[in-house]
Structure 1
Amino acid sequence: MTIADPSLGRIVSGRQQPSTPAHAPAREPYLRMSWTDPETGAVGHLVVDTLVSGLATGGTRMRAGCTLREVEDLARGMSNKTATFDLPVGGAKGGIDFDPKDSRAYGVLTRFCEAMRPWLDRHWVTAEDLGVPQHLIDDVFDDLGMGQSYHAAISRSADPARTTDRVRAGLHATAPGGPLGDVIGGYGVAQACLAATEHRGWDVTHTTVAVQGVGTMGGGAAWYLHDAGTRVVALADALGTLYDPTGLDVPALLETRNEYGEIDRDRVPASVHLLPREAVLSANVDILIPAAVSYAITADNCDGVTASLVVEAANAATTPDAEAGLTRRGIAVLPDFVANAGAVAWAWWLLLGYVDDDPAVSFERLGAEMRNRVSGLLYSWDLGERPVRAVAHAAMGQRPMYAEIHIP
């Protein structure tokens, strides 16, 4: 056990075996670390699954009930994402068991980052995740004198000031649907859906979609799918499901969201049906996008899924037994480490100078990369009975270690 500065809380690291993860690992993660906040008793976790070039990347989430098992699953997923997109970095994740709506949440996040500072200074590149928007974690990093949450990578660059300017310009560039840094992940999910639509020969304008979650990932995916001409017929937030079989006015509804990603029910048209939150999973649609919480589709509810394609915009959205059941029914589950990896891929392209603050350049690159991967996976999946996830794992191949990484 390692004791940090007592003012920062208690940190425990080790190789203890957690409960069985959602997708059973073949190896142990590089590091597990847990921390207890001295002021609130909140518990936070860091899991570094892999280190590549001495770096690992993955967001920090905050939600009541967040567990070490969950963070470990997510860290493993980050390793899969960076491998899928051939990024010169490993996978990690942070998670805090605390309600992000609590007035003390900013202090908890600040103390967690301060406790994890040895990793955030040199090895762990973090970003937004569930309950922690990018602007909030950037404010914490600024308060702690690290400037921006990509600090560990930026500090390695040839010109940290120039790299910081490039990162900030890219994150805040104005794109259709919102700031580029907020919408790029959802754009990638939408491109994954459109690639699947093309692969299956569906007419985009007759393709129906249901989205669970209207945060940056789910909201962005819904916006770009609506913009492409698909019919988004169901949107679910924490308050329930909005349903209109003729198609929802996605941009208008998203405009009414509050800071917690909840749509203002007073501004929902009378023609829209107000259904229970869980109804989105059983909506009669072609594509279901779980974009809210992990483990949303389980053995208990997967029989209600009628969509022929599930696209995981949330991390670890489908449990293994649910995925097996869906696969047996001929329902393809496009795994998170492909479908929602656009955000992390884009962030590293921005760090490495492959893209800049021009949204058109970012959209063109991400769209092409996502279409190639998804069409190839679905083609291979159509030839066999394995889950799409197994096909994607097989396609990863061996990772180079990137002994040197050049960030301009």
Structure 2
Amino acid sequence: MRTDRIDPLLRLTWTDPVTGTRGYLVVHTLVSGLATGGTRMRASCTMSEVEDLARGMANKTAAFNLPVGGAKGGIDLDPKDPRAFDVLKRFCSAMRPWLDAHWVTAEDLGVPQHLIDEAFADLGLQQSYHAAIRRSTDPERTLRRVQAGLNAPVPGGLLLGDVIGGYGVAQACLGVAASWAMRAEDTTVAVQGIGTMGGGAAWYLHEAGMRVVAVADAAGTLYDPAGLDIPALLESRDAFGEIDRTRVPGGVRRLPRGEVIALDADILVPAAISYALTPDNAMDVRAKVVIEAANAATTPEAEAMLAGRGIPVIPDFVANAGAAAWAWWLLLGEVGADPADSFLRLRTEMQAKVALLLGQWSIDGMPPREAGLRMAAQNRAEREAQPENDAALLIP
């Protein structure tokens, strides 16, 4: 079944009784009675956006052959608003029937994992993976495993749960370089967005030896063709992922925020907002490939324009699926608290998928999104042919 061609199972609109803020839940598909997808918060979030993201989650879970469907939550509010956390808690309370039994949510744009876990704890649900954990033969043991994995320390002073998504994006970039016989040290990258996903990707690309020449946050673009000191820049970020400009070296150029798209780099990683690449700026892209770290980062029209110029787009439901795939491997006990095991599993699967997509692009010009959708559809069809596997799904 092509999950990009079916209507969602559920569209739900919520209005906060205190502030009037709108919130949305879209469940695109249920598999084994479950759907997974984060909850985002941003000003001007719409039902249409959340529906696109839920569809992407359904493709993501199918592409990585996970035993779960796709969903997404969204709240139309600036996360910097002082009322934001209370609105998030009321949204979760209103969504409790789904969160209790069917919807496994997590962090997303504007909602870090620790905040959504705090909202769940206030509801007595302990952790945002609750709907899956409650199916376990031993929920307390599974909760301990999940918490141990999320909080496992990794080099750089961060936690595994905070960096695994960005690590997956970095592996997608490294997979492109390997497929095209590009040496890491000769490859340049521009990253739009330096929050959890973009920051993690930039860190691991820097660690791998790639030259990250540009990063952009809400305040603008920082550019140095010789390569940026990524660890130092990340260390200077505030709680909203913005870099302290007083700590930026004098030799780094400061450009408008949108300039990151047009800079000379081998790989462009849009990791900030949905619909960052549109027909208005697609012709400005100078990269050889686009890796979608943000959900729905490229509009269909822009992607067609890029393909016409010979620039493939590795779609979000593959490139940024690392966090979702890893969460389910963790829930199912396929990885544990040792980061090395998680990194190996994700590195192996991500690079193999990217190689497959680029192979189709090189052989017959098939856009990576189309190749990815075919892969997802095949996985879903094989799963549907053996429904007993999902019906009997138990979390160990």
* Cα pair distance change 1:373/1:257, threshold 3 Å: same
- Could you say which residue in structure 1 is the equivalent of 2:393? 405
User: For 2:337 and 2:375, how far apart are their aligned partners in 1?
Assistant: 31
- Could you say which residue in structure 2 is the equivalent of 1:170? 149
- Structure 1 residue corresponding to 2:19, chosen from 40, 47, 51: 40
User: For 1:380 and 1:139, how far apart are their aligned partners in 2?
Assistant: 44
Given that residues 190 and 224 in structure 1 are in contact (C-alpha distance below 8 angstroms), is that contact kept between their aligned partners in structure 2?
yes
Are 1:273 and 2:261 counterparts?
no
1:189-238 deviations in Å (ceiling 9; x for gaps): 00010010011011110100000001111000000000000000000000
- Could you say which residue in structure 2 is the equivalent of 1:179? 159
TM-score, normalising length from structure 1?
0.93
- Structure 2 residue corresponding to 1:120, chosen from 96, 99, 119: 99
Given that residues 104 and 131 in structure 2 are in contact (C-alpha distance below 8 angstroms), is that contact kept between their aligned partners in structure 1?
yes
User: For 2:18 and 2:379, how far apart are their aligned partners in 1?
Assistant: 44
- Could you say which residue in structure 1 is the equivalent of 2:286? 306
Higher relative contact order (CA 8 A, sep 6+): 2
Are 1:394 and 2:374 counterparts?
yes
1:240-295 deviations in Å (ceiling 9; x for gaps): 00000000000110000000000000000001011000010011000000000000
User: For 2:219 and 2:328, how far apart are their aligned partners in 1?
Assistant: 34
- Alignment-mate amino acid for residue 404 of structure 1: A
Aligned to 1:383, what secondary structure does the other structure show? helix
Structural mapping, 1:45-64, within 5 Å = 45-64=24-43
Q: CA deviation at 1:25?
A: 4.2
- Could you say which residue in structure 2 is the equivalent of 1:5? none
User: For 1:176 and 1:86, how far apart are their aligned partners in 2?
Assistant: 29
- Could you say which residue in structure 1 is the equivalent of 2:365? 385
Aligned to 1:148, what secondary structure does the other structure show? coil
User: For 1:50 and 1:81, how far apart are their aligned partners in 2?
Assistant: 12
Q: CA deviation at 1:111?
A: 0.4
- Alignment-mate amino acid for residue 407 of structure 1: I
User: For 1:394 and 1:261, how far apart are their aligned partners in 2?
Assistant: 35
1:102-128 deviations in Å (ceiling 9; x for gaps): 100011000000000000000000000
- Could you say which residue in structure 2 is the equivalent of 1:237? 217
- Structure 2 residue corresponding to 1:286, chosen from 266, 269, 273: 266
Given that residues 4 and 59 in structure 2 are in contact (C-alpha distance below 8 angstroms), is that contact kept between their aligned partners in structure 1?
no
User: For 1:323 and 1:169, how far apart are their aligned partners in 2?
Assistant: 39
- Could you say which residue in structure 2 is the equivalent of 1:76? 55
Are 1:219 and 2:207 counterparts?
no
Q: CA deviation at 1:406?
A: 1.7
- Could you say which residue in structure 2 is the equivalent of 1:339? 319
- Could you say which residue in structure 2 is the equivalent of 1:8? none
Q: CA deviation at 1:176?
A: 2.2
Given that residues 317 and 336 in structure 1 are in contact (C-alpha distance below 8 angstroms), is that contact kept between their aligned partners in structure 2?
yes
- Alignment-mate amino acid for residue 219 of structure 1: G
More helix by share: 2
Q: CA deviation at 1:386?
A: 3.0
* Cα pair distance change 1:24/1:82, threshold 3 Å: closer
Given that residues 189 and 212 in structure 2 are in contact (C-alpha distance below 8 angstroms), is that contact kept between their aligned partners in structure 1?
yes
Unaligned 5+ segments in structure 1 are 1-22
- Could you say which residue in structure 2 is the equivalent of 1:19? none
Given that residues 323 and 387 in structure 1 are in contact (C-alpha distance below 8 angstroms), is that contact kept between their aligned partners in structure 2?
no
1:49-68 deviations in Å (ceiling 9; x for gaps): 00000000000000000000
User: For 1:398 and 1:263, how far apart are their aligned partners in 2?
Assistant: 41
- Could you say which residue in structure 1 is the equivalent of 2:176? 196
How many residue pairs end up in the alignment?
386
Identity of aligned residues (%): 66
- Structure 2 residue corresponding to 1:246, chosen from 226, 238, 241: 226
User: For 1:24 and 1:404, how far apart are their aligned partners in 2?
Assistant: 23
- Structure 1 residue corresponding to 2:108, chosen from 118, 129, 132: 129
User: For 2:169 and 2:379, how far apart are their aligned partners in 1?
Assistant: 25
* Off by >6 Å, runs of 4+ in structure 1: none
- Alignment-mate amino acid for residue 345 of structure 1: A
Given that residues 327 and 386 in structure 1 are in contact (C-alpha distance below 8 angstroms), is that contact kept between their aligned partners in structure 2?
no
Aligned to 1:87, what secondary structure does the other structure show? coil
Are 1:376 and 2:364 counterparts?
no
Are 1:160 and 2:139 counterparts?
yes
1:356-393 deviations in Å (ceiling 9; x for gaps): 11000000010000111111110111112332101111
- Alignment-mate amino acid for residue 243 of structure 2: I
